[in-house]
């Protein structure tokens, strides 16, 4: 479904990605692990088109989308839940969610809204509060909900469990699994590397802008290097 070849990105003159090759197949759940500053966020931003690519190619379902504008990618179904929540602070919770479904028809968006509320009941209670006043974890739920509103076909999740209570972390991972069951393709970045690897079909390890390891989630979990560097074992 998604093929990345030799992707390189820079911030100014500083290279952040140095030739990434990876594939995500239809219906797969692929995890990406790496230390702070490895370039995980950068990669997701490049995939969403909000960061220009310096070199390389990105193909989605066979079509070259390297130069496609971000909104066109959203239209194709490439949807990202960004790191650091990035909610629209002054807008209400409901407006935030509705904007998540910006490109969808009203009726469809309405149904999606109900689903999100069912998943995160807190948000329903706060639907007309400005998003900026939510607690950190509530904002994270909002960010995830907003992503789901766009009917993703390829969902890019950047640290979705950050700041969430243990109970909710369980729920988020359960939700990821059920999305996968509904045939949504998922590309997941999470500091909770153990959980992220445990549910992944396949995974990549990123180090200073390069893919250094790749394999099934299970294999990587038992890889000694990974255990020491990312799992704290």
Partner 1 sequence: MNFLEVESLSKVFGGVHAVEDLSFDFQAGAVHSIIGPNGAGKTTLLNLLTGIYSPSAGRIRFEGQDLTGLAPHEFARRGIARTFQNLQLFFNMSALENVMVGRHLHERCGLASALLRFPRLSREELACREEAAELMRYVGLARYLGTAADAMPYGALKRLEIARALATRPRLLLLDEPAAGLNPTEALELDQLIGRLTGRGVTVVLVEHNMHLVMGVSDHILVLDYGRKLAEGPAAAVREDPRVIEAYLGSAAAARNLGAAGAAPRAGIGP
Partner 2 sequence: MSAQFVQFLLTGLTVGAIYALVALGFSIIYNASQVINFAQGEFVMIGGMATVWFAAAGVPYAAAIPLAVAAAAAVGLALEKFAVEPARGASVVTLIIITIGASIFLRGLATLIWDKQLHVLKPFSGDTPIVLGGATLLPQSLWVLGVSLAIVLALAWFFGRTLLGKAMLATSNNRLAAQLAGIRVRHVLALAFALSAALGAIAGILIAPIAFTSYDVGVMLGLKGFAAAILGGMGSGAGAVVGGIVLGIAETMSAGYISSAYKDAIALLAMLAVLFFLPSGLLGRRGTERV
Partner 3 sequence: MAARFATPRAGGMAALAALIALLPLGLRNDYFYDVAILVGLNAIVCVGLNLLVGYAGQISLGHAGFFGIGAYGSAILATRYGWPPLAAMLAATLAAAAIAFAVGRPILRLRGHYLAMATLALGVIVYMVISTEDRFTGGPDGMTVAPLAIGGWALRDPRLWYWVVGALLLAAVWFALNLIDSPTGRALRALHGSEVAAEVVGVDATRHKVMVFVVSAVYASIAGSLNAHFSGFITPAKVTFLHSIELVTMVVFGGMASTFGAVVGAAALTTLPQVLTPLKDYEMMVLGAVMMGTMIFMPRGVVPSLQALLTRRRDAAAAAAAPAPRPGDGQ
Ligand X SMILES: Nc1ncnc2c1ncn2[C@@H]1O[C@H](COP(=O)(O)OP(=O)(O)OP(=O)(O)O)[C@@H](O)[C@H]1O
Interface with ligand X (CB under 6 A): 11, 14, 16, 34, 36-42, 83, 133-138, 163
Among Mg ion, ligand X, partner 2, none, what does residue 11 contact (CB within 5–8 Å per kind)? ligand X
Give, as ranges, the residues between 22 and 41 that touch partner 2 (CB under 8 A): none
Contact pattern for partner 2 over residues 81 through 100, marking x by CB under 8 A: -x---xxxxxx---x--xxx
Q: Which member of 1, 17, 41, 221 binds Mg ion (CB under 5 A)? A: 41
* 3-state helix, strand and coil shares in percent for the chain, rounded to the nearest 5: 40, 25, 30
The residue count for binding partner 2 (CB under 8 A) is: 29
Strand (E) or helix (H) holding 2: strand 2-11
Alpha helices in 54-190 (DSSP H): 70-76, 93-100, 106-119, 121-125, 136-148, 166-181
Give, as ranges, the residues between 77 and 106 that touch partner 1 (CB under 8 A): none
Among partner 3, Mg ion, partner 1, none, what does residue 16 contact (CB within 5–8 Å per kind)? partner 3
Alpha helices in 49-105 (DSSP H): 70-76, 93-100
Give how far Cα 217 sits from Cα of 2, 85, 166, 211, Å.
Answer: 18, 26, 22, 15
Contact flag: residue 145 with partner 2 (CB under 8 A): no
Give, as ranges, the residues between 119 and 148 that touch Mg ion (CB under 5 A): 135-136
Contacts of 116 (CB under 8 A, 6+ apart): 97, 123, 145, 148, 149
Among partner 1, partner 2, partner 3, none, what does residue 228 contact (CB within 5–8 Å per kind)? partner 1
Contact flag: residue 230 with partner 1 (CB under 8 A): yes
Q: Which stretch binds partner 1 (CB under 8 A): 21-29, 88-96, 111-119, 155-163?
A: 155-163
Which of 135, 49, 119 lies closest to 85, judged by CA?
Answer: 135
Contacts of 98 (CB under 8 A, 6+ apart): 109, 113, 149
Contact flag: residue 53 with partner 1 (CB under 8 A): no
Residue 75's SS3 state is helix
Contact flag: residue 155 with partner 2 (CB under 8 A): no
CA dist., res. 181 & res. 177, Å (int) = 6
Q: In the numeric block, which tokens belong to residue 222?
A: 């038992």
Give residues in contact with partner 1 (CB under 8 A).
33, 35-37, 122, 129, 133-138, 140-141, 159, 161-171, 173, 191-195, 198, 228-233
Give residues in contact with partner 2 (CB under 8 A).
48-50, 69-71, 74-75, 79-80, 82, 86-91, 95, 98-100, 102-103, 130-133, 146, 150
């Amino acid at each position: 479904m998604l093929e990345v070849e030799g992707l390189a990105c820079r911030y100014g003159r500083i290279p952040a990605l140095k030739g990434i090759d990876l594939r995500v197949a239809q219906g797969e759940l692929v995890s990406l692990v790496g230390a702070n500053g490895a370039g995980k966020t950068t990669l997701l931003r490049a995939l969403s088109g909000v960061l220009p690519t310096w070199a390389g190619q990105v193909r989605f379902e066979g079509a070259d989308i390297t130069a496609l504008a971000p909104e066109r990618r959203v239209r194709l179904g490439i949807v990202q839940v960004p790191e650091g929540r990035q909610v629209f602070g002054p807008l209400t919770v409901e407006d935030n969610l509705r904007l998540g479904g910006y490109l969808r028809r009203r009726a469809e968006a309405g149904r999606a809204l109900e689903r999100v509320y069912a998943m995160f009941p807190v948000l329903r209670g706060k639907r007309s509060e400005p998003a900026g006043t939510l607690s950190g974890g509530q904002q994270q739920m909002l960010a995830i909900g907003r992503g789901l509103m766009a009917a993703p076909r390829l969902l890019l999740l950047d640290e979705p469990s950050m700041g969430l209570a243990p109970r909710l972390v369980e729920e988020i991972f359960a939700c990821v699994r059920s999305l996968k069951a509904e045939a949504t393709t998922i590309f997941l970045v999470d500091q909770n590397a153990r959980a992220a690897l445990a549910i992944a079909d396949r995974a990549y390890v990123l180090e200073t802008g390069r893919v250094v390891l790749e394999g099934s989630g299970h294999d990587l979990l038992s890889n000694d290097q990974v255990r020491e560097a990312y799992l704290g074992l």
